Homo-oligomer: A and B are copies of this chain.
């Protein structure tokens, strides 16, 4: 797994994810300097002096996933607290555990998440948490594309201002460095006051960056906002200027039709986390309705404590099946559309030049091993991927032409060391 600048993949079934949902059998993909130089029928491939040739015979090549909402240090809290009321979960388990987090443990937990993401075919993630230096360190080492943000809350005077100043420092330090970007992040309407929402909108405009925020995740927060502020959280985001910058709204389970119209009008992106929304008993986001109103919908996993997997494969089936099952329309969110939500739409929303496997795009792609019993017969590759595929089928993940994961091995991490470190830090959490 050394870094080669010229890689040729031969004999793949290529799921292009383009507008025509083209699938090319016996395809060749040529990668040069981090970009796709050619992707199409093997017989039409130009001469190419590859440093490495990968025989993908029988395998599928597709764009990698964009995990649009996650909190990677929470990998330290998987299975730490389940099946609890939200307030019990937060106050007796998650908050005390987060209080014990350190720069080092946040780094190792983030490294565990990088491994989980890379091994499951993710090429880009959109993150919100604290300990951003630790996350940045893990992200840079992994080679994944990461959009980081420091969650801002305003529990007491001065706190939000300090966090926002920190956010600006992080932006200056990391934005545009390697594969990193930095957004601003008001945690949520119920944890951030209106004045700070306005300040964040202004700063995002000055910096020319995006804003990542939890929006209308639970019925309670949505209705409390309406009662106390006379408007929905999304309407408040318009009022405070947040919809005027690139806006990334996580969850949106309880948004109104008017909210959807506003998000469509302002070009906001919905980051839906269907599994987390069910597990935390928040509900089911009306994705079909949003998309019919022209809202850009993408998918994310949320953190490992509330899912409990960082698996975009599972988010795809949950998203599609929940829309079918709650609209009573089996045609809702067909396979090809669902794949786009999990890959291309996320990449486009983050301003990445990938999500489609075609010449000129960044080489952010994954290879799927089809040796398992579920890939035969092969009537429809896209259906197989979306409805029968699994994390475990990913045999190679490439970001910007770099192979960061292949056949169980990581280019950037010793999995044994990562697990040992996590186990060590978990002992601290077990004593709480």
Q: Could you list which residues of chain A lie within 8 angstroms of chain B, going by C-beta atoms?
A: 76, 78-80, 82-86, 89, 112, 115-116, 119, 219, 275, 277-284, 304, 307-309, 314, 317-318, 320-322, 324-332, 334-335, 373-374, 376-380, 383-384, 387-388, 390-392, 415, 418-419, 422-423, 425-426, 429-430
- CB <8 Å contact, A84 and B330: yes
Q: Which of A277, A328, A422 has the most CB of B within 10 A?
A: A328
- CB <8 Å contact, B387 and A390: no
Q: How far is the CA of A242 from the CA of B329 in the complex (A)?
A: 32
- CB <8 Å contact, B332 and A112: no
- Please indicate the chain B residues that have their CB under 8 angstroms from the CB of A331 in the complex: 83-85
- CB <8 Å contact, A317 and B275: yes
Q: Contact partner of A392 among B280, B282, B322, B392, CB < 8 A?
A: B392
Q: A373-B115, A383-B308 are in contact. Are A321 and B278 (CB under 8 A)?
A: yes
- CB <8 Å contact, B426 and A112: no
A359 to chain B minimum Cβ distance, whole angstroms, is 29
| Contacts A83-B330, A281-B328, A392-B392 supplied; 16 other A-B pairs, CB < 8 Å | A78-B388, A80-B380, A84-B330, A112-B376, A275-B317, A280-B324, A280-B330, A281-B325, A284-B326, A308-B383, A309-B374, A377-B426, A377-B429, A379-B429, A379-B430, A391-B392
- Please indicate the chain B residues that have their CB under 8 angstroms from the CB of A378 in the complex: 79, 423, 426
- Please indicate the chain B residues that have their CB under 8 angstroms from the CB of A430 in the complex: 379
What 3 A-B pairs come out closest when comparing CB atoms? A278-B325, A377-B426, A392-B392
- Please indicate the chain B residues that have their CB under 8 angstroms from the CB of A76 in the complex: 377
Question: How many copies of this chain does the complex contain?
Answer: 2
A391 to chain B minimum Cβ distance, whole angstroms, is 7
Chain A at the B interface: SS class: helix
- CB <8 Å contact, B85 and A325: no
Q: Contact partner of A384 among B79, B283, B307, B334, CB < 8 A?
A: B79
Q: Contact partner of A281 among B282, B330, B335, CB < 8 A?
A: B330
- Please indicate the chain B residues that have their CB under 8 angstroms from the CB of A327 in the complex: 281
Q: Contact partner of A83 among B78, B79, B309, B334, CB < 8 A?
A: B334
- CB <8 Å contact, B283 and A328: yes
Q: How far is the CA of A419 from the CA of B327 in the complex (A)?
A: 36
- CB <8 Å contact, B330 and A279: yes
A292 to chain B minimum Cβ distance, whole angstroms, is 16
- CB <8 Å contact, B377 and A116: no
- Please indicate the chain B residues that have their CB under 8 angstroms from the CB of A425 in the complex: 377
- Please indicate the chain B residues that have their CB under 8 angstroms from the CB of A304 in the complex: 388
Q: How far is the CA of A287 from the CA of B111 in the complex (A)?
A: 38
Query: Which residue of the partner chain B has the closest CB to A220?
Result: B328
Instruction: Name 15 A/B residue pairs within 8 A (Cβ), A-sorted.
Output: A78-B379, A78-B388, A79-B384, A80-B380, A84-B330, A89-B330, A116-B373, A278-B324, A281-B325, A308-B383, A309-B387, A373-B415, A378-B426, A390-B391, A390-B392
Q: How far is the CA of A258 from the CA of B327 in the complex (A)?
A: 26
- Please indicate the chain B residues that have their CB under 8 angstroms from the CB of A422 in the complex: 376-377
Query: Which residue of the partner chain B has the closest CB to A311?
Result: B390
A316 to chain B minimum Cβ distance, whole angstroms, is 12
Query: Which residue of the partner chain B has the closest CB to A383?
Result: B79
- Please indicate the chain B residues that have their CB under 8 angstroms from the CB of A423 in the complex: 376-378
Q: How far is the CA of A390 from the CA of B419 in the complex (A)?
A: 18
- CB <8 Å contact, B89 and A387: no
- Please indicate the chain B residues that have their CB under 8 angstroms from the CB of A332 in the complex: 281
A219 to chain B minimum Cβ distance, whole angstroms, is 8
- CB <8 Å contact, B79 and A380: yes
- CB <8 Å contact, B377 and A78: yes
Q: How far is the CA of A320 from the CA of B284 in the complex (A)?
A: 14
Query: Which residue of the partner chain B has the closest CB to A415?
Result: B373
A165 to chain B minimum Cβ distance, whole angstroms, is 34
Q: How far is the CA of A324 from the CA of B282 in the complex (A)?
A: 8
Q: How far is the CA of A112 from the CA of B377 in the complex (A)?
A: 10
